[in-house]
Amino acid sequence: MLGKIALEEHFATDETIDQASQAVPAAHWPELRDRLADLHEGRLRQMDENGIELAILSLITPGVQGITDTALAIDVARRANDFLAEQVAKRPDRFQGFAALPMQDPDEAARELERCVHALGFRGAMVNGFSETGSTSALLYYDLEQYLPFWATVQDLGVPFYLHPRNPLPQHAKIYDGHPWLLGPTWAFGQETAVHALRLMGSGLFDRYPALQIILGHLGEGLPFSLWRIDNRLAWLKEPPQHRGRQKIAHYVQNNFHLTTSGQLHTPSLVQAMLEIGSDRILFSTDWPFENMNHAADWFDSAGISELDRAKIGRRNAITLFKLKDVLGGDG
């Protein structure tokens, strides 16, 4: 399929690139570093070879979320966003941007998102899970009360918020002791992010701000498979509600969430997600440079789904969600 739009496509700045060194064995780090640093020549060649017209770029994980000094997090986010805006301006027909946000300070995060949307033309935000502040034992999840004004800003701006994974901190990851292979994309990324998403849903956030739209990668971090069990367990004992949300969890996933195919190139999983939330809420992504574009494109182009659904997931849903007609021209 030509004209695909991808939206979990990462870059790094000089200040954050070393964060990615733990993602691969040392022997593979030079290649990953080169992929991250190459925002144009090599990346565009890969996109052309794999039928990807446009990519929405985002800062690597944990990015700003891993900076415990709030003032530094604010500064790094702003400079990363300015850098990304400069790169997008060189080829706006091929690249757009997600804002990095200093969620350590909700007010500053809201101001930076407003700046990125209004002044830099970004299409939303990508935030890498919980934020650290003060010390590595102080974690901030975004269902906390202090984030309500931030979420009001996101809804008012009408842009999506991509909740991207990060690993739990070592002191909170005892379950993985002796099994480091379970960390990262293998398992811990999905578990951590799914719990964060459930916290948002159970907090009543989407009852207060029903127009909020959240994106999860990797076909929903396992949530589509578990929705029936979650809601059934919460309902069958006829006890008072155990969370503050007024709707079933499945309702929020089906109305306030979008899922991408990033790093989950498996047709049965895609079909399961389509059955749970519909093809209008699923979008194509590759997870470059941590996954290969050709693997994602080859799988998606031949996946056993209808051509109508392929067109929606590969292109049309992104045009609608991110309001991309202005950069793609015509009808998109």
Reduce the secondary structure of 43-97 to three states and give it as a string.
HHHHHHHCCEEEEEEEECCCHHHHCCCHHHHHHHHHHHHHHHHHHHHHCCCCEEE
Q: Residue 135: what pLDDT? A: 63
CA–CA distance from 261 to each of 8, 110, 211, 284 (Å)? 9, 28, 23, 5
Grade residue 22 by pLDDT with cuts at 50, 70 and 90.
confident
Q: Which of 28-32, 188-192, 283-287, 308-312 has the lowest mean pLDDT?
A: 28-32
99 in Cβ contact with 126 (< 8 Å): yes
d(CA 78, CA 86): 12
The pLDDT tens digits for 141-160 are 999 999 999 999 999 999 99
Whole-number pLDDT of residue 21: 73
Residue type, 80: A
What is the 8-class DSSP label of residue 213?
-
Quick one: what percent of the chain has pLDDT higher than 90? Answer: 81
Whether the per-residue pLDDT at 15 is higher than 90: the answer is no
CB 63 within 8 A of CB 89: no
Give me the percent of the chain exceeding a pLDDT of 70.
98
Q: How many other CB atoms are there within 10 angstroms of residue 230's CB atom?
A: 17
Assign residue 3 a region (left: φ > 0; alpha: ψ between -120 and 50; beta: otherwise).
left
Least confident of 16-20, 176-180, 218-222, 274-278: 16-20
Mean pLDDT of 28-38: 83
Q: How far apart are the first and last CA of the chain?
A: 15
Q: Taking residues 169-181, what's their average pLDDT?
A: 93
**pLDDT value at position 24?**
73
Q: What is the token pair recorded at 158?
A: 């009408």
> Helix (H, G, I), strand (E, B), or coil: what is residue 214?
strand
Strands 52-59 and 4-11: what pairing? parallel
Mean pLDDT of 259-283: 97
Q: Please report which confidence band the pLDDT of residue 37 belongs to, taking 50, 70 and 90 as the band edges.
A: confident
Q: Which listed residue (287, 298, 309, 326) is catalytic?
A: 287
- Integer Cα distance of 70 and 91 in angstroms: 32
Going 301 to 194 to 169 to 147, the CA torsion angle's sign is: positive
Summarised one tens digit per residue, pLDDT across range 40-89 is 999 999 999 999 999 999 999 999 999 999 999 999 999 999 999 999 99
Instruction: Write down the pTM of the prediction.
Output: 0.95
Question: In this structure, are residues 94 and 47 in contact, taking their beta carbons and an 8 Å threshold?
Answer: yes
Report pLDDT digits (tens) over 219-242.
999 999 999 999 998 887 677 777
Better-scored residue on pLDDT, 209 or 233: 209
**In the chain, what are the domain boundaries?**
4-326
Specify the fold of 4-326. Answer: TIM Barrel (3.20.20)
Is the pLDDT at 105 greater than 80? The verdict is yes
Give the per-residue pLDDT at 236: 74
Question: For residue 111, which of 71, 150, 72 has the smallest C-alpha distance?
Answer: 150
For residues 205-231, average pLDDT:
97
Question: Residue 331 pLDDT more than 70?
Answer: no
pLDDT of residue 208: 98
Residue 272 pLDDT more than 70?
A: yes
Sign of CA pseudo-dihedral 236, 175, 18, 186: negative
**Does the annotation mark 107 as catalytic?**
no
Q: Kindly state the tokens that stand for 307.
A: 């051509």
For residue 330, the model assigns a pLDDT of 57
Mean pLDDT of 307-324: 98
Res 136: pLDDT: 55
Give the residue-averaged pLDDT of 240-251. 88
At 137 the pLDDT is 60
Q: b/e map of 30-57 (b: 16 or more CB within 10 Å)?
A: eebbebbeebeeebbebbeebbbbbbbb
Question: Residue 278 in contact with residue 312, Cβ under 8 Å?
Answer: no
Residue 28 pLDDT class (50, 70, 90 cuts): confident
